[in-house]
Amino acid sequence: MPSSSSRNSCYFCGKREDEVATLVAGPPPLFICNECVALASDIIAEEEELFAQSVPAWEPTEDRLRELLKQDEGLALEADGTIRRVQVIKRAGTQREDRSLILTCSFCRKREDEVRKLIAGPTVYICDECVRRYADVLAQDAK
């Protein structure tokens, strides 16, 4: 989280402009520093490397899925076969399900289902596309 003494701080690590080599501006008021871009790039690269390895697909039987769902009451099996986390909200004697929590990139506003990876900061998120975009900006500035 950025420090209150400077508006130009990285929204991921909180370092001020004078504490990092480069601070890249996102949509106002967001900034991200070169160190956090590098860290996010490393996270994405490591994950891509893991996914590139051949791992046999987990294909549970329908009975196994139902057994897993019984163990975690916060999960629901949708009609299309996807598993969703469900939050039950209780207020003043009423109860309803809230399935509206959708995470978005704080920089480009793309939803988590529209990007390959969403990396969380203390109060913001950045997607793999924005990480690559800012890494390219930093690489161009270094030339």
Is 71 in contact with 79 (CB distance < 8 Å)? no
Q: How confident is the model at residue 1 (pLDDT cuts 50, 70, 90)?
A: very low
pLDDT tens track for 85-122: 666 666 666 666 555 567 889 999 898 888 999 999 98
State the sign of the Cα–Cα–Cα–Cα dihedral 49, 136, 129, 20. positive
pLDDT recorded at residue 102: 73
Does residue 3 sit within a domain?
no
What is the pLDDT at residue 5? 45
Query: Could you tell me where the DSSP H helices lie in the chain?
Result: 34-52, 62-71, 128-142
Residue 53 to residue 3: CA distance in whole angstroms: 41
> Is there a domain that residue 99 lies in?
yes
Instruction: Examine residue 86 and state whether it is found in any structural domain, yes or no.
Output: yes
The answer as to whether 9 is a domain residue is: no
For residue 129, what pLDDT band results from cuts at 50, 70 and 90? very high
109 domain residue, yes or no:
yes
Residue 12 lies in a domain: no
Query: pLDDT band at 19, cuts 50/70/90?
Result: very high
Domain total of the chain? 1
Give the single-character DSSP code of 9: B
Measured CA to CA, the distance from residue 109 to residue 26 in angstroms comes to 11
Q: Whole-model pTM above 0.85?
A: no
Question: What is the rounded distance in angstroms from the CA atom of residue 20 to the CA atom of residue 36?
Answer: 10
Given a cut of 70, is residue 8 above it in pLDDT? Answer: yes
Do the beta carbons of residue 34 and residue 21 sit within 8 Å?
yes
Instruction: Give the residue numbers spanning the domain of 66.
Output: 17-142
> Which of these, 116, 114, 90, 88, lies nearest to 102 by C-alpha position?
114
Query: Does any domain span residue 6?
Result: no
